[in-house]
Chains A and B, each alone.
Chain A
Amino acid sequence: MQTAQNSRNGNSPTPRIAIIGAGVCGLGIGWRLAAAGCTVDAFDQGEPGRAASWAAAGMLAARAEVEPGEETLLDLNLKAQEIWPGFVAELESASGLPVDYRDDGTMIVALTRDDAEALRFTYDLQKRLDLDVDWLSGIEARQREPFLSPNVTAGIYSPGDHQVDNRKLVIALQRAFEAAGGAVHAQTTIRAIDIAEDRVRGVVAANEESDDIHHAADVVVLAAGAWSRDIDGLPTELRPPVRPVKGQMLSLRMDADAPLLRHVVWPPGVYLVPRNDGTLIIGATVEEKGFDGDLTAGGMLDLLRDTWEALPGITELSVDEMWVGHRPTSRDDAPILGPTGVEGLIMATGHHRNGILLTPITANGVSRYILEGVVDPAIEPFTLDRFAKRRGKRARPAPDGKLGVVS
């Protein structure tokens, strides 16, 4: 077994950190820790930030995406949104690279009476949760976006839901992380987390040269997204309940000087994200297909048909790219953050569709815990142990003591 040489010795006053997964969360946490003087190594089985971080659309849409029963997550998402502008300023200055943060706002639109009824139901929920959103008539919606179909009958406008170019975010985070002294180990798979006597000792990595590199660390951050459940060495009860949820997407090329859309727009069944350079991102299917990576005719058909019905002008646009990503989805769709029962083992995974939105708050909250030992109140409801406390998976004994099904 080889031992990787660390730049600092074992008695370093700051902890040695190993981060499993160099996506936006891993890089964001790593940047914070490296900037605070820690020795940080981030490992990625592929190239950094090329999995879910790259596949995402970069919507920062806490209000538009709110779902029933997810009020706790909404609080976190709203807090995350608040700190985004400051995070952008800091990151762009540290990296010298733009991330194209845009605050045009988000619109959800309805195309039929049934859609409008469904939208009204969403609007009622948003209002009940005190969210700053406005109801739009079809005419008002088309005043904001004149290329929308005349069939648009109603809409919701959410001025506080913004967007960022997630691919530029990846590049900027990597630059900032490395500039602060962090090391990215690409094409390096973590085969196991080394845990002894309830504390982490490091990770076992494999790359092209060796498949058995022991890398000592005081703190291991599990930020491996949809792959987080599959890392060896984790006791069963510490395997985060995270699964891959497949999404297919594509992008079209608009005229950057005369784009078809300026807001992020959500017609029924699809979302449309216009970028500064004229790219129009269209997403996304939601498929329980494990790590299946196939683009399908049905997936593209659904995305394009739903887009065309709301934005007929797309027929003339060229297709830029089509891709598949895997959301790291936890059982309750909320992220899993912070300490675990094993000393030094920290979670930052399970962000589902909110990974980009939650990048700054994940970076701040998790790094704060590592540096100060304080669980930030913002992330406190999202530790792994919440699943053990929740109801819902328990056999209900019938009066005869067996499960209620009598054969």
Chain B
Amino acid sequence: MYSPLEDPLTIADKTFTSRFLIGSSPFPNNQVMLESIEASGAQIVTVAIRRIDLSAGGETVLDLLEGDYHILPNTAGCYTAKDAVLTAQLAREAIETNWIKLEVIGDRETLYPDVEHLLTAADELVRDGFIVMPYCTDDPITCRKLVDIGCAAVMPLGAPIGSGMGVLNPYNIEIIRAENDVPVIIDAGIGTASDAALAMELGCDGVLLASAVSRAHDPVRMATAMRHGIEGGRHAFLAGRIPRKHHAEASSPKSGVIGT
């Protein structure tokens, strides 16, 4: 029998049994967040370092998640390489991890990555000893450059953040997967379980999403759906889909029919 344990996801020096990475916002409340993350089976949870309370509290998002999950801080809300590097360093100090999900945003309307600043920040952070997982465009050249810089994974967008439009350029994602030997994780754009399944069928190593779960009418149920979508897509990718044909081919034997 196939066991997920035989198909672990390794990023840098850590191995995970789940291929679902989940964001910690914007859930209706923290209790729903905790229950959704539990239902997702995710082991890596991203938190926006600029949007969380780093003061002692006892009831902050970090207090609720630390210890149970691998916390992946992100640089959401940063518009320049300088901003992003400072935010990553703040995260390292505050929550004692050298892992960073690097986001450098180009503008408010599209939330598209600013590739120039992203490459600059990634280079600086890798040299500073960070495990860098960049949110990037679905552009094979950009992804290759990020891998050459030393990023631990690349995380191309499927579609703009929060748009729920799914994987808009499957062809690019396949190229990115084929050309690089670090994990490729679809980040952003997933709207429903079939989008996540498709990303995995394309060969992606994992899926990172937040809004599709947190903004659903029933976040806990959607987290469950995404978990199954990701697992289903991964199994399908490993199992190998049959070729598409123009004509039917019966699944029962053609010879030995009664009367011949």
* A interface residues with partner B (beta carbon < 8 Å): 67-70, 121, 124-125, 128, 229, 239, 241-243, 287-291, 329, 331-333, 352, 387, 390-396, 398-399, 403-407
Contacts and interface: CB of A to CB of B under 8 A. Distances in A.
A390 B16 contact: no
A287 B77 CA distance: 13
18 contacts: A70-B29, A70-B32, A125-B217, A287-B51, A289-B55, A332-B31, A333-B28, A387-B31, A392-B37, A392-B38, A393-B64, A395-B67, A396-B68, A404-B17, A404-B18, A406-B14, A406-B15, A406-B16
Contact of A406 (B8, B57, B58, B219): B8
Residue picked from B53, B58, B61, B69, most chain A C-beta under 10 Å: B53
Contacts, number: 105
A391 B68 CA distance: 13
B4 to A, nearest CB: 10
Given A332-B31, A392-B35, 8 more contacts: A67-B28, A68-B219, A243-B58, A394-B68, A403-B68, A404-B18, A406-B15, A407-B15
Contacts of A243: 53, 57-60
B216 A396 contact: no
A360 B34 CA distance: 31
A181 B241 CA distance: 79
Contacts of B52: 288
B220 interface: yes
A69 B32 contact: yes
Contact of B220 (A69, A124, A287, A398): A69
B89 interface: no
B29 A333 contact: yes
A289 B33 CA distance: 19
B100 to A, nearest CB: 17
B218 interface: yes
A69 B70 contact: no
Contacts of B218: 68-69
Interface string B64-81: 100111100000000000
A121 B215 CA distance: 10
B59 A69 contact: no
A306 to B, nearest CB: 12
8 nearest interchain CB pairs? A392-B34, A332-B31, A333-B29, A67-B28, A243-B59, A290-B55, A392-B35, A288-B53
Residue picked from A67, A394, A405, A407, most chain B C-beta under 10 Å: A405
Contacts of B15: 405-407
Nearest to B163: A114
Interface of B: 5, 8, 13-18, 28-35, 37-38, 41, 43, 51-53, 55, 57-61, 64, 67-70, 215-220
A292 B42 CA distance: 32
A393 B216 contact: no
Contacts of A332: 29-32
A405 B57 CA distance: 26
B144 to A, nearest CB: 29
Given A242-B59, A391-B35, A395-B68, A69 B29 contact: yes
A124 B57 CA distance: 37
B59 A331 contact: yes
Contacts of B219: 68-69
B34 A288 contact: no
A131 to B, nearest CB: 14
Contacts of B8: 406
A381 to B, nearest CB: 13
B61 A288 contact: yes
Contacts of A406: 8, 14-17
A396 B53 contact: no
B70 A405 contact: yes
Nearest to A117: B164
Contacts of A395: 67-68
Given A229-B59, A395-B68, A405-B70, A331 B51 contact: no
B60 A69 contact: no
A26 to B, nearest CB: 21
A72 to B, nearest CB: 11
Contacts of B69: 405
Given A394-B38, A405-B43, A407-B14, A70 B28 contact: yes
A405 B218 CA distance: 27
Contacts of B215: 68
A241 B33 CA distance: 15
A211 B67 CA distance: 39
A289 B41 CA distance: 29
Contact of A229 (B17, B28, B58, B67): B58
A227 to B, nearest CB: 12
Nearest to A407: B14
A125 B28 CA distance: 14
A239 B28 contact: no
Nearest to A66: B28
Residue picked from B31, B69, B70, B218, most chain A C-beta under 10 Å: B31
Contacts of B29: 67, 69-70, 329, 331-333, 352
B38 A396 contact: yes
Nearest to A391: B35
Nearest to A406: B15
